[in-house]
Amino acid sequence: MPIHDAIIIGAGHNGLACALHLAARGWRTLVLEQAATPGGAVRTAEVTVPGFRHDLCAMNLSMFAGSAFHAEHGQRLARCGLAFVPAARPFASVFAADGGDAWLGLEQDLAATLAGIGRFSPHDAEAWQALNARFEREAPHLFALMGAPLPSWQAARALWRMGRALGLAGLADVLRLLLSSPRDWLTGHFESDAVHCLLAPWGLHLDFAPDTAGGALFPYLEAMAGQRFGMALGQGGADVIVRSLTAALGEAGGELQTGVGVRRIVVSGGRAQAVETVDGQRLEARRAIIANVHPRALYGPLLGAAAPPDSARARMLRPGPATMMIHLALAALPNWRAGAELQTFAYVHLAPSLEHMAQVYNQALSGLLPTEPILVVGQPTAFDPTRAPVGKHILWVQVRVLPAIPRGDAAGQIAAAPWDEIKAAYAERVLDILERHAPGLRQNILGRCVLSPVDLERDNPNLVGGDSLSGSHHLDQFFIFRPAFGRSRWRTGIDGLFHIGASTWPGAGTGAASGYLLARDLT
């Protein structure tokens, strides 16, 4: 058996990005993936009707398109088939207004966004312009910090430059932003419910209810990035990044093996030496073993008794609330009651109010099925018709937020039972919500696929409890605390063993940052 320089466990996009960067630097690199196909949470498949390609989890590839990894390796990936489809209307929200539906959308055209906001509040249109100007000043420094290892001199320099550029008052504004809840930040800047409902759902994407400290950053970044760059979708499906990464890895001399599970990591003399696969192979690694897995797997069965004594904190990384995915093959796009223009947005959030979002979050954390969950409705075929037969469409529905283990139903209609027994009934509730906002939707459904929280974890063990984030992003589990204090910079306490993925800094998303930053550290 050949000895590899690096063995990567897990072929999610972070693992593949890490492998490609190392292989491009001359490392003999092997990626092992227990599933039959690579990609982790970035996969596309025909799960409803033949010819309809659905992104099973991640759909928005803006973070990948704007990442430092793509900036360095984008040309190589483009030669291997990577292509994006731009969405100049990235997202909108439907909310409650005078007993009916109203909507507000964000567009890459600033004048169009301001005109939409101005319909609800001239004050908020002015506030948006001011926020846009603030972002121009802050963005280079925020992205430099978010793209730096923690702790590191690179991060320290980013903070120092931020202070030099923004001054003490500007630095204090950034710190206030990092600590604020979505509600406090939104109500401090905008007076209209329309803008609150447009931005607050982005907090829920990363486990931040309206009143959770630290959640303001993500609505701010999504709003301002969407304003400038729109949204990037993968041409033909989100798995285009996985297919191009896999092809580029092969061209660079790296190797990917799927259907190969790892039973344990062999540690000898305080150093990770090899991996043993479930079929009995022993594969040696000369320079590094890199685990792109949840810390429960790494510090549990993979290391066993070899896990460092202080690894319990990382192993107990707290999951965020659960998620359900519903994929629909449609004869036509939804006929949105709030306005036909909603068909031209990549995402439509069904988020009636800040109070409603807070209620849904509290119900889920109490173990209850929410009476009316927040829905993230993706309409990729509005921009990329290649994902469905001519004239047909797909709908990507993410249900936020849900309990991992249902203990009851806030509506009192569904008996407490395991997800396998109740997912169909709860999916019907979701479809009823969609039908209310888009009359006639049901009659256009050609096929459906419902993935409960249990299904998501069954398919991808990194999604513990159906948590699509691989760990809550609350402040006690972010920055230098992800996955635990003392485990930053992707170190594990064992020489030659490193840990990447959504459970590590800088967290979830498609930016491939942890894999790329570690690979850059190692080379």
What are the chain's domains? 4-45+59-83+237-316+475-522 (3.50.50.60), 91-229 (no CATH), 321-459 (3.30.519)
- Mean pLDDT by runs of 10 across the 523 residues of the chain is 91 98 98 97 98 98 97 98 98 88 97 98 98 95 94 95 95 96 97 97 96 97 96 98 98 98 97 97 97 97 95 94 98 97 98 97 98 98 98 98 97 97 98 97 98 97 96 96 93 97 96 97 96
Residues 6+ apart with CB under 8 A from 78: 244
Q: How many Cα neighbours within 13 Å face the side chain of 244? A: 22
Under 8 Å between Cβ of 400 and 359: no
What is the C-alpha to C-alpha distance for residues 474 and 208, in angstroms, rounded to an integer? 7
Strand pairing category for 445-451 and 322-330: antiparallel
Whole-structure pTM value:
0.96
**SS3 call for 25:** coil
Under 8 Å between Cβ of 351 and 359: no
pLDDT value of position 1 = 61
What is the C-alpha to C-alpha distance for residues 496 and 515, in angstroms, rounded to an integer? 15
Strand pairing category for 262-268 and 100-106: unpaired
Residue 93's H or E segment, with its range, is strand 91-97
What is the C-alpha to C-alpha distance for residues 376 and 457, in angstroms, rounded to an integer? 20
Under 8 Å between Cβ of 18 and 355: no
Which of 8, 14, 11, 138 is closest to 67 using CA atoms?
A: 14
Q: Where are the beta strands (DSSP E) in 278-423?
A: 282-291, 322-330, 347-350, 368-369, 374-378, 393-402, 408-409
Tokens found for residue 396? 């990507």
What is the C-alpha to C-alpha distance for residues 324 and 455, in angstroms, rounded to an integer? 9
What is the C-alpha to C-alpha distance for residues 63 and 232, in angstroms, rounded to an integer? 8
What is the C-alpha to C-alpha distance for residues 483 and 247, in angstroms, rounded to an integer? 31
